[in-house]
Amino acid sequence: MKLRIIIFLLAISPLSAAQVTGKLFYDKLWRLTKKDSAMFYRTFTLDTASQKFSGEAKDYTKDDKLIMTTLYKDGARNGLSVTYFRNGQKESEGNFEDNVRKGTWKYFYSNGTQRQEVQYGDFETRIMYLNDSAGTKLLTDGNGFWTEEYVEPYTGAKIITNGEFRNHQKEGTWTSTLSNGSPWITSIYKSGRFVSGEMTVEGEVFELFGPVKNLLPMPYRYTTTESFASTRIVSRSDYKFIKSLPAKTSPSQLKKADEVFSVTEYSAYPVGGLPAFYKAVGENIKYPAEAKKLGLEGRVFVEFVINRNGTLSDFKVIKGLGKGCDEEAIRAIKASMTTVKWKPAIQLRKLVRQRYTLPIPFRLTGT
């Protein structure tokens, strides 16, 4: 059996004891990967002590087409940032202040026609105008109908958002649909204030408790590259200066469908909210006799998983009281499932499993 050893070379130049320059290689989701499987790469300067980008960063396609230039200071985007289409035409340009878009930003179509101009202030965003690809105005001085097409970087799906602006504020029904016509997000606004909304994922409808940022979303690559998200095939041996990477590659034994998330884009929630959940738990709790005799009170912290179908499983006491309270807390949560249903978590427009930890209170009433 032959042992093939592949040596991954990364050109790095020392700037100082705390800085390095070089190239980082990314897959299509802008996660760190090896050079031979990369779709994009970045030229960079990194402060190795703070693990933050510094100075100018440029992103390229694997065939060396420039698609972004931006400036970093103390790890935050500060100064002029420009993105480009693959044909070399400018896509957007404007300034950041501590990762927040500020001042005038201009956006373009791939044919060079100006698409829109947006004023980003400290407290509000003003759409100055919006044109179609032929230059015809659709929205002027904050009044008119908005349309935006956004391609999800992780699925390649096209999201189309439509709605009306009145005096620079969202008004009426706003929709985001897939290019095949499938619904995704529907929101109702009144004078810019979110009234209600719903999201459809895998045929299931979820209530929205606040507005979704579906207007001029920040490029996906920013947060992904700045957090050094990585594929499972890279380790510190590939990028020695990135401390968050594992020492060795360790592919997960879990199937992707079985992955359990702690943090998701949209968290799981009980129908009716947590008050309905705690009401159901309270109605099912039977105070353990020994705990009651000892006057034992407090909270039991229970971890559990909300599955993709909304059922609960994998119960575990993280911090307990003992004297029967731990077992009773789990039993009461399981019993609550007959009256209170859960909506599963959503990640990248997919239903996923999420790990939850909630405190279950034990309080004695008057004797």
The string of DSSP codes covering 243-306 is TTS-SS----SS-GGG-EESS-SB--EETTHHHHHHHHHHHH----HHHHHTT--EEEEEEEEE
Distance CA 45, CA 102 (A): 24
Torsion of CA 47, 52, 57, 62, to 10 degrees: 100
Two tokens at 54? 């510094």
Flag whether pLDDT at 255 surpasses 70.
no
What element of type H or E holds 181?
none
Give the pLDDT confidence score for residue 45 in this predicted structure.
95
Tokens 């970087």 sit on residue: 153
- Asked if 234 and 24 touch (Cβ cutoff 8 Å), the reply is no
When pLDDT is cut at 50, 70 and 90, the band that residue 360 belongs to is very high
pLDDT-wise least confident of 2-6, 167-171, 192-196, 248-252: 2-6
Please name the CATH architecture into which domain 269-362 falls. Answer: 2-Layer Sandwich (3.30)
Most confident segment among 64-68, 143-147, 263-267: 64-68
Answer with the residue of higher pLDDT: 168 or 83.
83
Q: Which burial class, exposed, middle or buried, applies to 181 when counting CB atoms under 10 A from its CB (0-12, 13-18, 19+)?
A: exposed
Contact 127, 144 (CB under 8 A): no
3-class SS at 238?
coil
Burial class (CB in 10 A: 0-12, 13-18, 19+), 294: exposed
**Helix (H, G, I), strand (E, B), or coil: what is residue 93?**
strand
Per mean pLDDT, which range of 6-10, 47-51, 109-113, 308-312 is the poorest? Answer: 6-10
Q: Using 50, 70 and 90 to split pLDDT, how confident is the model at 6?
A: very low
CA-CA-CA-CA dihedral for 282, 283, 288, 291, to nearest 10: 30
Q: What is the mean pLDDT of the chain?
A: 88
CA atoms of 50 and 46, how far apart (whole Å) = 9
- As a whole number, mean pLDDT of residues 241-265 equals 73
For 311, other C-beta atoms within 10 Å of its C-beta total 12
For residue 104, what are the CA distances in angstroms to 79, 117, 216?
A: 12, 7, 14
Cβ atoms of 112 and 119 closer than 8 Å: no
Section 333-356 average pLDDT: 92
Identify the CA nearest to 310 among candidates 275, 271, 254, 349. 271
Q: Where are the domains of the chain?
A: 142-216, 269-362
pLDDT value of residue 8: 39
Beta bridge partners of 301: 319, 359
Question: Which amino acid belongs to residue 289?
Answer: A
pLDDT of residue 252 exceeding 90, the answer is no
For the segment 139-167, the average pLDDT, to the nearest whole number, is: 85
CB 242 within 8 A of CB 227: no
Of residues 333 and 230, more confidently modeled: 333
pLDDT at residue 10 above 80?
Answer: no
Which 3 state secondary structure label does DSSP give 222?
Answer: helix
